[in-house]
């Protein structure tokens, strides 16, 4: 028989876990949120009649407790449950934050629970349909028993598991933010420049999409350094100068980003040896000029 589980903080990630773990035979002991109204709504979404704003009422008998509240309150919520004797001896307590280590759950260890973190490398939105865990990577760390439980959960959800070091979580999470959130930021800047070039807002995505997906495919095949093309890889200072002038005139708020990314890109071009040291110097001077 699969273990029972409780979800404390049942928003985007909590609901996804609630639905898909039940589909895999895990028994949902109940859910809790901060407000009664959202608890009722979340309970309907995951299909349980056990909901509360007093977390310890639904965690007390659960084999696994997920604390899927916003990052800033995970430690306090865990301590509050521990104070109310809300963890059963031998329970596994997991949070899903990418930035924080499992040690923020240490208050649960006093009740004989083991603790871990289980971070799905996925962007969960309220509208997400289907099993959003399938095929993704879930990174885990923590006490050995918690890590082994998290491995089993990841495998049951159809995800691959990556074990990371507790101390390395900050840089791991920074990498995920750059890869996901800043990709969105980058595309937003590209879309705005495309609109300034006269392409209608509704068309910018389809115009740029083949370029974006082709670039991702090149990175997959040959890695970032060899995938680099464009004016910096060619050492084309004249084109870069024209870009700087054009952006300064029409979209000055993007210039800082363009120049900072350009400076980083010079390093890639040097690693690939497509430009000389003197060309790198020239480009660097151009991209460090006053904005």
What is the number of the residue whose Cβ is closest to ligand NAP? 11
Which CB, 72 or 198, lies closer to ligand NAP?
72
Q: Give the contact letters, 138-157, x = binds to ligand NAP (CB under 6 A), - = no.
A: --------------------
Which CB, 91 or 204, lies closer to ligand NAP?
91
Q: Out of 4, 34, 218, 265, which residue is the one contacting ligand NAP (CB under 6 A)?
A: 34
Beta sheet of 114-120, edge-to-edge order: 51-52, 27-32, 4-8, 64-67, 92-95, 114-120, 137-142, 160-163
- Which among 15, 213, 286 is positioned nearest to 125, based on CA atoms? 15
The window from 92-100, 200-208, 233-241, 274-282 that contacts ligand NAP (CB under 6 A) reads: 92-100
Q: Is 185 exposed, middle or buried (0-12, 13-18, 19+ CB in 10 A)?
A: exposed
Give me the least distance between CB of 74 and ligand NAP, in Å please.
Answer: 6
Q: Give the contact letters, 154-173, x = binds to ligand NAP (CB under 6 A), - = no.
A: --------------------
Whole-angstrom Cα distance, residue 148 to residue 115?
11
3-state secondary structure of 65: strand
Whole-angstrom Cα distance, residue 191 to residue 50?
46
Binding stretches for ligand NAP (CB under 6 A): 8-14, 32-35, 38, 55, 68-71, 73, 77, 95-98, 119-120, 122-124
């Amino acid at each position: 028989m699969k273990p029972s589980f409780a979800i404390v903080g049942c928003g985007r990630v909590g609901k996804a876990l609630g639905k898909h773990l039940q589909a895999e035979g895990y028994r949902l002991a109940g859910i809790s949120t901060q407000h009664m109204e959202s608890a009722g709504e979340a309970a309907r979404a995951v299909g349980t009649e056990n909901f509360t704003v007093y977390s310890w009422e639904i965690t007390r008998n659960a084999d696994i407790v997920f604390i899927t509240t916003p990052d800033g309150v995970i430690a306090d919520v865990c301590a509050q449950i521990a104070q109310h004797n809300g963890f059963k001896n031998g329970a596994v307590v997991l949070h899903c934050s990418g930035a924080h280590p499992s040690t923020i759950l240490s208050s649960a260890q006093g009740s004989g629970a083991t603790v871990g973190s289980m971070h799905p490398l996925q962007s969960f939105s309220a509208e997400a349909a289907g099993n959003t865990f399938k095929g993704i990577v879930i990174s885990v760390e923590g006490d050995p028993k918690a890590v082994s439980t998290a491995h089993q959960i990841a495998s049951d959800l159809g995800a691959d598991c990556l074990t990371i070091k507790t101390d390395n979580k900050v840089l791991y999470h920074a990498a995920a933010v750059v890869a996901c959130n800043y990709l969105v930021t980058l595309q937003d800047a590209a879309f705005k420049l495309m609109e300034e070039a006269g392409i209608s807002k509704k068309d910018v995505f389809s115009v740029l999409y083949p370029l974006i997906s082709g670039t991702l495919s090149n990175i997959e095949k040959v890695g970032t350094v060899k995938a680099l093309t464009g004016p910096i890889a060619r050492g084309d200072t004249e084109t870069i100068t024209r870009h700087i002038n054009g952006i300064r005139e029409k979209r000055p708020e993007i210039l800082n980003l363009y120049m900072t990314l350009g400076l980083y890109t010079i390093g890639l071009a040097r690693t690939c040896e497509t430009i000389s040291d003197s060309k790198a110097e020239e480009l660097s001077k151009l991209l460090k000029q006053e904005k």
